[in-house]
Structure 1
Amino acid sequence: MNQLIRKIENSLHKGFIDQNKPVSGHFKPKLLTNNHHESVLSSLLQELKACKTFTFSVAFITEGGLATLKTMLYDLKLKGVKGRILTSTFLNFNQPKMFKELLKFENVEVRLTGEKGFHSKGYIFEHKEYYSLIVGSSNLTDSALKANYEWNVFLTSLENGEIINHFKRQFEDAWNAAIPLTEEWIAGYKQNYELQPFIKHTTTNALEINTNYLTNDLAKSLSIQPNKMQDAALLQLKTLRETGAKKGLIISATGTGKTYLSAFDVRNFAPKRMLFVVHREQILKKAMQDYRKVLGGNEEDYGILSGNSKDVNAKYLFATIQTISRNSYLHEFSKDHFDYVLIDEVHKAGADSYLKVINYFEPDFLLGMTATPERTDGFNIYELFDYNIAYEIRLQAALEEDMLCPFHYFGVTEFEKNGEIVDDATELKNLVSRERVRHIIEKVNYYGHSGDRVKGLMFCSCKEEARSLSILLNEAGFKTVALTGDNAQEEREAAIQKLESGELQYILSVDIFNEGIDIPFLNQIVMLRQTQSSIIFIQQLGRGLRKHNSKEYVTIIDFIGNYKNNYLIPIALSGDQSMNKDNVRRKTVNTDYIQGVSTINFEEIARKKIFDAINNTNLSTLKALKDAYTEVKNRLGRVPTLHDFIEQNSLDPEVIINYSDNYYNFLLRMKEDIPSLSEYEIATLTMLSKEFLNGKRVHEVILIEELLKESFISKESYIAKLNDFGAYVNDETIQSVENIFALEFFVQNDIKKYGGKSIIKLIDGNYQFNEEIQESLRDSNFTRYIVDIVKCALIKSRKYNKSKPFTLYEKYSRRDVCKLLNWDKNEEGTLNGGRIKNGTCPIFVNYHKNEEDSAAKYLDEFLSNDLFQWCSTKNRTVMAKDINPIVHSTENGVAVHLFVKKHNGEGKDFYYLGPVSVDSESAKNQKLEDEGVHYGVVTMNMLLETPVQYDIYHYLVEE
């Protein structure tokens, strides 16, 4: 407790007296504004996860705001953590349905205050030995917690602090005078609320006019204009055509208005005749309606060519591919009959029917549109359009531009029976059991939907599952229908109409609604099948992303079982195609990459299932690498470089290098016909790739870059270049760089693998490549590989702090640490626990040991997010010659650095958690037992200079 008091005293000193005082960051007062680094929501979640109880006093609450907390509150319920929420009816902002959502939280007591003008916005969290408080401008709305520019103060206090007690007294007074929230109260409130229909409150806390009350004539008079994305795309299409191009490709996320975009471009192009080709008649009719809104004109200008209609003389012809690809219809038109041809869902264009049509017509311009151009059959869509990508906007960018309906994604735990969770091998009878149906109902009711009633789409794994679940859901009181590929188009259209009118609540589907269908009123998507493809995942999620005035957001409920492909979920949501396991883990732990008010939430057990899948899956199989390679090659129309993979947001070059040692070897595995290299040139590429491409230390990369420009550089000029680049410079680091290039740092196997001789030498004060490399650099082919490595390394170096050896929360192997601490030799093979050398001491911790590992009995433990109890290796005492110097490292000026990984499933790399100070008084001898054998260890407490950030801390600590 005394230590805690000192921390808070120091934090208050920093917050209110001297901002330069170095203190633990966890307790310092701070301003929360929803910037790029920290949102009010992330701080709320951090405090909720660690608290004993919580108290919210907020005037305004929305369903979207509650949605952001639902997963956390569910996990807290399982842990027995309870809380209280005090709110009001001030300005009639809070909607009746929101109050119903509040009643779903079994571990939260809710009361309503009658306090006049109640406008508070405060969140109090009780922890084991202290309280934390967030108070300021943020109501409990998704906009206020994540997107709006807000001012909230975060404070920490001990129980006897006057500020926290003042807040608590104010709250208790209002709480005791408030009334409980009940179903009966909500019914009465709803009656009064509905008497004021014309003005409504939005999630942004502003007032808006309800456009449902506008007259039809007024609504029709509002002209349709391009949105921001469409304006940019139209300009790029115009610019593309001005270069003489006759083909163009638009890649645009589902729901961003591709059809309207094409209509605007047709209006600008003003063709004499236009052909719009798509694969389904239902889409055709909707597209024609949208075109009429944009282009106007006479009704007879528009026509459909399909199995049911033959309007071949129309100026604007909308045709199904199945019909127009038939010779009897195709040859009814001359090759130049249409001067503008558009292919929708063009990722299907590799089929013979599409190619037949595309190759037949000779329009002035051919436009292809798709949300997902990626293909797994090797067909090159990009080549079909002369590699002219006129415009591209993916999910993340579309959300940022507010072009899509916000979503709240919930990764929930699949049904469990007798300790077994649904997995890849689960039999159909268990997928359609009544117990699983009850589990599904519980989740869809808890996570809910925006709008008056649910209008949902459930994706099932097979036809039998869809049909059986529909029957069982109907027996439980729901109104559902199952649709599969066996159902006619008319049946599908009728079901969609019933869903919109309220006659149905859910359509259960197997794949048929993945794409090419427009159901903008959907407010809930339920995924009851495992994720087989990130492309299909986004297609299914995208069914709900169209904006509609009946909803403020769409709820995505994804049932996560023991599926081997669970790792695809964070890949799909983040769009990260790097196949780098650490990137995938980070995207599961920290979901702040999602833009706007949208959120991604995983129940704790479901998140663990994803981590298991990541750990147990080889992301870099030959097939996966080849598919990604082919995609980039197809997009560029040439053999890509490593740098191209970064530019195209594709494979992480490090994944390629880990697979094949160097890019030359990789290209050979891709069956590319490339100029051969000598054995020594290949060894050199391997050394430069494996040691420097990761960008963790930029010093060597800068030296290589300079020697590619000139045959030599003086030591003084090299140091000046490092200073210009902002890199830290000292004699030990320069010596380490020379040591690395001389191969003296490496063990014998690596020396042999890297060619056996010094790569860069220091001669008469100048650095230069060895003679053999200088000769090889006369060959532009070999040089290109080196330049490529340097470009990648410099890009990767951007995420590392150049002013010091290590960057917080980045990952390092023991080998990396030996190098970056300027050790003369790579001692990774014997570097366990901790060791002092050259005034530095890295501490390596594998936090969760295997049960069969005797080290499982070690006592490594986070006591808090800024205090770590470290346990030595076996058979050590406080006075041991390798332990006592660590105990007294702080007073002796030894720099101790803490590196932690969750478990061995993460591989060789550890998270860097920063410098630590060892509390020498905490060091003690401990006795442990392993299979009847007693041995001694030493434990000591280490205070972290920077508290571990919320997401990394909980990821490491949780089992």
Structure 2
Amino acid sequence: MSRKFNARGYRTVALSGKDSEEKRQEAFERLAMEETDATQEMQPLDYIFSRDILNEGVDIVEVNQVIMLRPTQSPIVFIQQLGRGLRKAPGKEYVVILDFIGNYNNNFMIPVALSGDRSYNADVIRKYVISGNSTIPGASTVHFDEISKDKIFKSIDKIKGMKTLIKESYVSLKNRLGRVPLLYDFYENQEIDPLVIIREYKTYDAFMVAMEQDKYKNVLNEQEKLTLEYLSKTVLSGVRPDELVILSQLLHRDHIAVADFIKEYQNTYGIEISTSRVKEAVQVLQGHFVSKEAEYQKYCQIDILENDPAGMIKRLQSYTERLTHIPFYTQVEDIIKVGIARYKEKYLPGIKSEDPFVLYEKYSRRDVSLLMNCGKDLSSIMYGMKRIENDVFIFITYHKEESQDEKNYVDGKPDYADAFEDNLIFKWDSQIGKGLDSSYMKDVLGADRKHLFVKKSDAETSFYYMGQFDVLEARNAQKEDNRGRMQPITKVTMKMHHAVREDLLRYLQSHITA
């Protein structure tokens, strides 16, 4: 290719793994060179042709054209290739991507590459394609025409082999760093989301055994593995930092005064927390944050700390001994670093002191249990509506294309006419059998704070937090149950405290589902 281009008057070179670092560096400098800087000894280049070696670890910000001449089945490699041209530089107004060999067959990789999201979550990718223009930071815009959208949506539906994607990301990062990466390395280098790794493998240790096999077998004992499994499951996501800060402090000292902890927490995060909230965080770290007795019997053995009557959080001796084992210490510290980094980037900027939830972020029912200091995981009983002290939570699966008052059942499930009329007004049907005078509706209407969570379809496990709302109207109505009997329901008109963001509303109202 280089010879063909040179014959047509272009200035090009071909690089391979056989070329020295000096030759490669000279080629990079020539590619970035301005015509005015040319000398007799060194002329600018129009193109560099390469195979594999420029996928990663090369940063030439001036690149404004990428030509793809070989197919890749790897989203990671595709992102790296595309990323060669996405950096901003003085005088660089655009980048041209010429794909001659059909990488668009895996075209879900395009929104993944452009959005920066590394969760590979189908819902997140669909939302980005529908509303990309309003979700890219800065002055950038992305527009997908209808044909492109259709092809990408079909490609998204075929996403599979997450472990293959994880392994590709691991090999890529390991080669780039020259060492085995930790979870925080994946986060810091914008590789695949550490939460994706944990969802597939439960712990970093199990992930390492899968990647490196015998080299990492039996590095940890069973109690260490159990502790890391619980912490990965419970605090790695960083939805709040309470437990992470306690763990961080207990890495270096054997006790923490609760009063000092509260003061340091406020100084660091600007949020006042109560003694009872600290107590809840301690209970979480004692293995209590589970939904079943069998889980508690399993995780109560993690033996990390205790909260004594004198207002001290004390590290248990068995945990102190485990921390002397370097592989265990390293993995605990790694979980803490990822969790705190995620909290600072994803949640802290949008946190309001009176509300632990960030508008339009996604939360699972388990997250809601944690953030509301429930003491245990209530997700198994948190369906439709849940009242927790002075807060009520409404969970909606949004299927506007099916929701019609005259319909009673869709695919055997009650069809509730739940829909946004606009970005402020939401219409909601109570559960069948729950009239205006029911204790169910009294819980809704009597709560001081009312929160709405919405997900696009049942394929998703997490909900977008739409914010708090007030009830404008609640009236009795009837709906036929699955036995043909008329039952009371309550039709509720809500008004959101904040107008729902247009891109999210557009996505929810679209007919694209999993």
2:405 aligns to what? none
| Alignment partners' CA distance in 2, 1:344 and 1:555 | 15
Q: Which secondary structure does the structure 1 equivalent of 2:142 belong to?
A: strand
Amino acid corresponding to residue 667 of structure 1 in structure 2: M
Sequence identity percentage: 29
What pairs up with 1:264-275 in 2 under 5 angstroms?
none
1:729 aligns to what? 273
Quote the offset at 1:262 in angstroms.
Answer: 6.7
1:770 aligns with one of 316, 324, 346? 316
Q: CA RMSD in A?
A: 4.1
2:295 aligns with one of 740, 746, 750? 750
Q: For residues 127-172 of structure 1, what are the alpha-carbon distances to aligned partners after superposition, in whole Å with 9 as ceiling and x for unaligned?
A: xxxxxxxxxxxxxxxxxxxxxxxxxxxxxxxxxxxxxxxxxxxxxx
| Alignment partners' CA distance in 2, 1:346 and 1:556 | 16
1:845 aligns to what? 396
Quote the offset at 1:572 in angstroms.
Answer: 2.9
State whether structure 2 residue 162 is matched by structure 1 residue 392: no
| Alignment partners' CA distance in 2, 1:552 and 1:262 | 15
1:698 aligns with one of 241, 253, 258? 241
Would the aligned equivalents of 1:646 and 1:652 in 2 still touch at CA under 8 Å?
yes
2:440 aligns with one of 878, 882, 890? 882
Q: Which secondary structure does the structure 2 equivalent of 1:719 belong to?
A: helix
With over 3 angstroms needed to count, the CA separation of the structure-2 counterparts of 1:956 and 1:728, relative to structure 1, is: farther
Q: Which secondary structure does the structure 1 equivalent of 2:340 belong to?
A: helix
With over 3 angstroms needed to count, the CA separation of the structure-2 counterparts of 1:723 and 1:918, relative to structure 1, is: same
Q: Which secondary structure does the structure 1 equivalent of 2:180 belong to?
A: coil
| Alignment partners' CA distance in 2, 1:537 and 1:767 | 45
What pairs up with 1:838-877 in 2 under 5 angstroms?
838-848=389-399, 852-855=410-413, 857-877=415-435
State whether structure 2 residue 379 is matched by structure 1 residue 828: yes
Rg larger for: 1
2:476 aligns to what? 924
Quote the offset at 1:346 in angstroms.
Answer: 4.7
Q: Which secondary structure does the structure 2 equivalent of 1:794 belong to?
A: helix
Would the aligned equivalents of 2:60 and 2:84 in 1 still touch at CA under 8 Å?
no
State whether structure 2 residue 480 is matched by structure 1 residue 813: no
| Alignment partners' CA distance in 2, 1:669 and 1:595 | 37
Q: For residues 11-52 of structure 1, what are the alpha-carbon distances to aligned partners after superposition, in whole Å with 9 as ceiling and x for unaligned?
A: xxxxxxxxxxxxxxxxxxxxxxxxxxxxxxxxxxxxxxxxxx
2:197 aligns to what? 656
Amino acid corresponding to residue 901 of structure 1 in structure 2: K
Would the aligned equivalents of 1:835 and 1:882 in 2 still touch at CA under 8 Å?
no
Would the aligned equivalents of 1:840 and 1:896 in 2 still touch at CA under 8 Å?
yes
| Alignment partners' CA distance in 2, 1:544 and 1:837 | 46
2:282 aligns to what? 738
Greater relative contact order structure (CA < 8 Å, 6+ sep):
2
1:784 aligns to what? 330
Amino acid corresponding to residue 316 of structure 2 in structure 1: N
| Runs of at least 5 residues in structure 1 that lack an aligned partner in the other structure | 1-245, 265-289, 303-315, 319-342, 350-369, 374-388, 406-510, 517-528
Quote the offset at 1:734 in angstroms.
Answer: 2.3
| Alignment partners' CA distance in 2, 1:542 and 1:717 | 48
Q: Which secondary structure does the structure 2 equivalent of 1:599 belong to?
A: coil
With over 3 angstroms needed to count, the CA separation of the structure-2 counterparts of 1:540 and 1:296, relative to structure 1, is: same
TM-score by length of 2: 0.79
Q: Which secondary structure does the structure 1 equivalent of 2:186 belong to?
A: helix
State whether structure 2 residue 64 is matched by structure 1 residue 294: no
1:688 aligns to what? 231
What pairs up with 1:310-709 in 2 under 5 angstroms?
344-348=48-52, 370=54, 372-373=55-56, 392-393=59-60, 404=64, 514=68, 535=77, 565-581=106-122, 583-588=124-129, 589-592=131-134, 599-603=141-145, 606-607=148-149, 610-611=152-153, 613-614=155-156, 617-618=159-160, 621-672=162-213, 673-674=215-216, 676-709=219-252
| Alignment partners' CA distance in 2, 1:700 and 1:583 | 27
Quote the offset at 1:531 in angstroms.
Answer: 8.6
Amino acid corresponding to residue 347 of structure 2 in structure 1: Y
Quote the offset at 1:776 in angstroms.
Answer: 0.4
Would the aligned equivalents of 1:701 and 1:794 in 2 still touch at CA under 8 Å?
yes
Quote the offset at 1:579 in angstroms.
Answer: 3.2
Amino acid corresponding to residue 832 of structure 1 in structure 2: Y
Amino acid corresponding to residue 671 of structure 1 in structure 2: E
Q: Which secondary structure does the structure 2 equivalent of 1:845 belong to?
A: strand
Amino acid corresponding to residue 279 of structure 2 in structure 1: Q
With over 3 angstroms needed to count, the CA separation of the structure-2 counterparts of 1:582 and 1:761, relative to structure 1, is: farther
Report the number of matched residues. 470
Quote the offset at 1:536 in angstroms.
Answer: 5.3
With over 3 angstroms needed to count, the CA separation of the structure-2 counterparts of 1:263 and 1:657, relative to structure 1, is: same
1:235 aligns to what? none
With over 3 angstroms needed to count, the CA separation of the structure-2 counterparts of 1:750 and 1:645, relative to structure 1, is: same
| Alignment partners' CA distance in 2, 1:541 and 1:745 | 41
Q: Which sits farther off after the overlay, 921-930 or 796-805?
A: 921-930
| Alignment partners' CA distance in 2, 1:263 and 1:690 | 49
Amino acid corresponding to residue 743 of structure 1 in structure 2: G
Q: For residues 770-790 of structure 1, what are the alpha-carbon distances to aligned partners after superposition, in whole Å with 9 as ceiling and x for unaligned?
A: 332111011122111111111
Q: For residues 857-904 of structure 1, what are the alpha-carbon distances to aligned partners after superposition, in whole Å with 9 as ceiling and x for unaligned?
A: 211111211111122222211111111231343xxxx21111100111
Quote the offset at 1:660 in angstroms.
Answer: 1.0
| Runs of at least 5 residues in structure 2 that lack an aligned partner in the other structure | 1-19, 403-408
Would the aligned equivalents of 1:643 and 1:792 in 2 still touch at CA under 8 Å?
yes
State whether structure 2 residue 445 is matched by structure 1 residue 908: no
| Alignment partners' CA distance in 2, 1:816 and 1:544 | 35
| Alignment partners' CA distance in 2, 1:853 and 1:937 | 20
2:453 aligns to what? 899
Q: For residues 507-550 of structure 1, what are the alpha-carbon distances to aligned partners after superposition, in whole Å with 9 as ceiling and x for unaligned?
A: xxxx9x6259xxxxxxxxxxxx9997575588689999999x9x
Q: Which secondary structure does the structure 2 equivalent of 1:709 belong to?
A: coil
Quote the offset at 1:722 in angstroms.
Answer: 1.3
Q: Which secondary structure does the structure 2 equivalent of 1:695 belong to?
A: coil
2:490 aligns with one of 930, 933, 938? 938
| Alignment partners' CA distance in 1, 2:477 and 2:24 | 67
| Alignment partners' CA distance in 2, 1:901 and 1:730 | 32
TM-score by length of 1: 0.44
Would the aligned equivalents of 1:711 and 1:768 in 2 still touch at CA under 8 Å?
yes
With over 3 angstroms needed to count, the CA separation of the structure-2 counterparts of 1:759 and 1:933, relative to structure 1, is: farther
2:6 aligns to what? none
With over 3 angstroms needed to count, the CA separation of the structure-2 counterparts of 1:569 and 1:765, relative to structure 1, is: same
Q: Which secondary structure does the structure 2 equivalent of 1:922 belong to?
A: strand
1:796 aligns with one of 334, 338, 342? 342
Q: For residues 662-681 of structure 1, what are the alpha-carbon distances to aligned partners after superposition, in whole Å with 9 as ceiling and x for unaligned?
A: 10111011125136111111
1:152 aligns to what? none
| Alignment partners' CA distance in 1, 2:48 and 2:150 | 39
| Alignment partners' CA distance in 2, 1:776 and 1:532 | 39
With over 3 angstroms needed to count, the CA separation of the structure-2 counterparts of 1:613 and 1:843, relative to structure 1, is: farther
Would the aligned equivalents of 2:289 and 2:377 in 1 still touch at CA under 8 Å?
yes
Quote the offset at 1:752 in angstroms.
Answer: 4.0
| Alignment partners' CA distance in 2, 1:886 and 1:515 | 59
Q: For residues 722-754 of structure 1, what are the alpha-carbon distances to aligned partners after superposition, in whole Å with 9 as ceiling and x for unaligned?
A: 111223412442232133123334222432443
| Alignment partners' CA distance in 2, 1:616 and 1:936 | 42
Amino acid corresponding to residue 656 of structure 1 in structure 2: I
1:714 aligns to what? 257
Amino acid corresponding to residue 295 of structure 2 in structure 1: D
Quote the offset at 1:941 in angstroms.
Answer: 1.3
With over 3 angstroms needed to count, the CA separation of the structure-2 counterparts of 1:898 and 1:248, relative to structure 1, is: farther
With over 3 angstroms needed to count, the CA separation of the structure-2 counterparts of 1:839 and 1:540, relative to structure 1, is: closer
With over 3 angstroms needed to count, the CA separation of the structure-2 counterparts of 1:546 and 1:940, relative to structure 1, is: closer
| Alignment partners' CA distance in 2, 1:769 and 1:937 | 52
